[in-house]
Amino acid sequence: MSPLALGSPDRPLRVAVIGAGPSGFYAASALLGADATVEVDLLDRLPVPFGLVRGGVAPDHQKIKSVVRAYQKTASHPRFRFFGNVRVGERVPLELLRQHYDMLCFAVGCESARTLDVPGEDLPGSGTATDFVAWYNGHPDARELDFPLHEVGSVVVVGVGNVAVDVARILTRDPESLHPTDIADHALERLRESAVRDVWLLGRRGPAQAAFTPAELQELSQLDGVDLVVPPWSAELDPASAAWLEAEGDKVTRRNVELLRELSQREPTGAPRRIHLWLGRSPVAIEGDGRVEAVQVAHNALVEEGGRIAARPTGEVDRVEAQMVLAAVGYCGVALPGLPFDRRRGIVPNVEGRVVDEAGRVVPDTYVVGWAKRGPSGVIGTNRADAVETVDRMLADAAGHHAPADPDRTAAAAEQALARAVPQLVRWQDWERIDAEERARGEADGRVRRKFTRVRDMLEVVRRS
Ligand code: NAP
C-alpha cells in the first residue's frame, strides 16, 4: 500500500500532549485548529484536568479560573480525547506512546519547588509555598501535608513574586471570605482556627526588582482586617535602579515603585493582622529547637553586577520570631524518565519547542510547551503564544511527510494500549461526572465546588457512574 500524506483525513497526524494544564490545552487547541488533520489525545497523571488552574490559582481568584471555558471548548472538538490517571514515564513508558503517536508534546510544567539553601530549612514548620498552595487548592500530592495554623502566630514568606503574594493573602484574609470558593475543605478548616497575625514578605532585592504585579500588590493593600506595612526603607530605590527606571523602566515596574512609595507613607490602622513587606532582606538561617522559632534576616545592599542588580549582605542582621517559613522562590521542573532534562535550568532543553539532547541534537518527534519549555514565568495567557510557537514547528516538521497506514497508529489502538497499561483510565465524560459531583457538593453548602482531594475518591465517582 502506498504511504499516505501525514496530516490528511486518511492518515491524521496523531499527537499525544502530556499534561492537561493551560499549556497542554493551548497546544491541543493550536493543533486542532491547523489546516492539517490532527488527532490529539491529552494525557494527565491526575484524573482531573486543568493543571495549575485547578491546583495553583488562588481560590479567591475565581475569575481567573473561568479560563477553563476555553479549554472545555477545545475538549468538545471531535478529534480531541482526554485520558486522565495516566502517569507517563511510569506506568506508561515513552516507548509505548511512540508506538501509537507520530509526535509527543510535553506540557508537564514545573512540579517541584526551588529551596532556600539556608541552615534550619529542614526544621518542621519550614516548607515551600508550592506545597502550601497545592495543599489549600486540594491537590492530591499535598493531601497528606498539614499546616497546623492554630500553632502559628507569625509566618515568614521568602520571595516577592505573585505566589508569595497569594500565600500572604490566603494566610491573612478573613477565612469566611474563602468559604464560597473552591478552597480545599481541610485548608478552610485550618484557616478558620488560624492564629496567624503577622506575615513577613521578604524580597532580597529592591522595589524595582520585585516580581509581583501591581494589581496583586494593590489587592494585598486592600484586604479587610489587614494592614500592609511597608517601611520607608523598603520603598527606597538604590541609585542604579533609580537611574534605570528613569531611563528605560517599564510600566509595570514604574507602577510597582509608585505603589510601594504610596504604601510606605500609610499609617497602620491597627487592623488585627499585618503583612510586613520587607525589601532588601534575605533569610540567612532558620532557628529553632525541634521546630521553627525564628528567622535571621540579613540586610542587603544592592550592587550592579554585569548589568544586573544583585543583593549583597551588609553584615546587619535582624531576628524575626516566626513559627512557619514558606519559601516562595520559584517552581522548578522535574526530570521525566526517557526525556532530556536540563538540571541547572529545571526545564526540558529545547530549541523553539523542539526537544534537544545534551549534545544539542533534536530528539525526533518530541516537543515541549509551557513552563517545562521556558521555565516558570508569565501568566496563564503567556502559554498560548508559547504553545503556538511549538505547534508551528510540529506542523512544519510533519509537512510533506508520508506514512504507511499503520494499525498501531490509530485512535483505537492507542486507547486500547492505554487501557491495558492503566487500570482505570479516566475519559472526558468521567471528568465531567467528577466536576458535576464536586459542584453539587459545593452548591449544597453555598460554595463554588467542594473538591475531591484524593485520587481514589475521584476514581470512585467514576466507578459509581
Ligand atoms: P517569580 O515571579 O519568579 O518570583 C520568585 C521570587 O523569588 C522573586 O522575588 C525572586 O527574587 C525570589 N527568589 C528567588 N530565589 C531566591 C532566593 N534564593 N532567596 C530569596 N529570594 C529568592 O515566581 P512565582 O512567584 O513562583 O511565580 C511564578 C509565575 O507564576 C510568575 O510568572 C507569576 O507572575 C505567576 N503567577 C501569577 C499569579 C497571578 O497572576 N495572580 C499568581 C501566582 C503566580 P529575585 O528576582 O531576586 O530572583
Residue nearest atom 1 in ligand 1 by C-alpha distance: 161
The secondary structure of residue 12, as a DSSP letter, is: P
Q: What is the CATH number of domain 114-330?
A: 3.50.50.60
Cell of 150: 492554630
Q: Which residues line ligand 1 (CB under 6 A)?
A: 116, 158-164, 166, 203-205, 209, 211, 216, 282, 328-331, 376-379
Q: For residue 355, give the nearest of 108, 111, 114, 113 by alpha carbon.
A: 108
Q: Which amino acid is at 372?
A: A
> Ligand 1 atom closest to Cα of 382?
32
Interatomic CA distance for residues 51 and 428, integer angstroms: 15
* Single-letter residue type at 21: G
Q: Do 383 and 30 form a contact (C-beta atoms < 8 A)? A: no
The residue contributing the CA closest to ligand 1 atom 41 is: 162
The closest residue, in CA terms, to atom 3 on ligand 1 is: 330
Q: Do 286 and 121 form a contact (C-beta atoms < 8 A)? A: yes
Distance 179 CA to ligand 1 centre (A): 27
Question: Which atom of ligand 1 lies closest to the CA of 56?
Answer: 43
For 279, counting Cβ atoms within 10 Å of its Cβ (0-12 exposed, 13-18 middle, 19+ buried), the class is buried
Q: What is the pLDDT of residue 218?
A: 98
Q: 275 φ, ψ to 5°?
A: -115, 120
Alpha-carbon span 296 to 288, nearest angstrom: 11
Q: How far apart are CA 190 and CA 54, in angstroms?
A: 20
DSSP state of 140: G
Residues 6+ apart with CB under 8 A from 266: 221, 228, 230
If one residue of 116, 131, 137, 162 were mutated to test the ligand 1 pocket, choosing by the most ligand atoms within 8 A of its CB, it would be 162
Ligand 1: nearest atom to the Cα of 129: 26
Alpha-carbon span 236 to 219, nearest angstrom: 21
Ligand 1 centroid, distance to 377 Cα (angstroms)? 8
- Domain 4-111+333-423 grouped into CATH 3.40.50.720: yes
Walk across the sheet containing 13-18 and list its strands. Answer: 80-83, 38-43, 13-18, 103-106, 362-368, 354-356, 350-351
Give the distance (Å) from ligand 1 centre to CA of residue 340.
25
Identify whether the C-beta of residue 164 lies closer than 8 Å to the C-beta of residue 172: no
DSSP label of 342: B
163 CA: nearest ligand 1 atom: 25
Instruction: Quote the cell numbers at residue 385.
Output: 503564544
Nearest CA to ligand 1 atom 14: 329
| Atom 31 of ligand 1, residue of closest alpha carbon | 377
Task: Out of 23, 163, 278, give the residue to mutate to test ligand 1, the one with the largest number of ligand atoms within 8 Å of its CB.
Answer: 163
Query: Which 3 state secondary structure label does DSSP give 13?
Result: strand
CA of 203 from ligand 1 middle (Å) equals 10
Distance 266 CA to ligand 1 centre (A): 25
| 163 alpha carbon – ligand 1 mean position (Å) | 6
**Best CA proximity match to 229, nearest among 282, 271, 284:** 271
Residue 58, amino acid:
A
Ligand 1 center to residue 210 CA distance, Å?
8
**Whole-prediction pTM value?**
0.97
* C-alpha 330 to ligand 1 mean position (Å): 5
Let me know if 401 is exposed, middle or buried by CB neighbors in 10 A (0-12, 13-18, 19+): middle
Instruction: Tell which one of 116, 204, 220, 299 to mutate to probe ligand 1, the residue whose CB is within 8 A of the most ligand atoms.
Output: 204
For the chain, what are the domain ranges? 4-111+333-423, 114-330
**pLDDT 10s per residue in the chain (465 long)?**
578 899 999 999 999 999 999 999 999 999 999 999 999 999 999 999 999 999 999 999 999 999 999 999 999 999 999 999 999 998 899 999 999 999 999 999 999 999 999 999 999 999 999 999 999 999 999 999 999 999 999 999 999 999 999 999 999 999 999 999 999 999 999 999 999 999 999 999 999 999 999 999 999 999 999 999 999 999 999 999 999 999 999 999 999 999 999 999 999 999 999 999 999 999 999 999 999 999 999 999 999 998 899 999 999 999 999 999 999 999 999 999 999 999 999 999 999 999 999 999 999 999 999 999 999 999 999 999 999 999 999 999 999 999 888 899 999 999 999 999 998 999 999 999 999 999 999 999 999 999 999 999 999 999 998
**Ligand 1 pocket mutation pick from 329, 331, 345, 383 by most atoms within 8 angstroms of CB:** 329
Are 113 and 332 within 8 A, CB to CB? yes
- Do strands 281-287 and 13-18 pair parallel, antiparallel, or not at all (unpaired)? unpaired
Measured in Å, residue 21 CA sits from the centre of ligand 1 at 19
pLDDT given at position 1? 57
- Taking alpha carbons only, the member of 119, 115, 117, 132 closest to residue 288 is 119
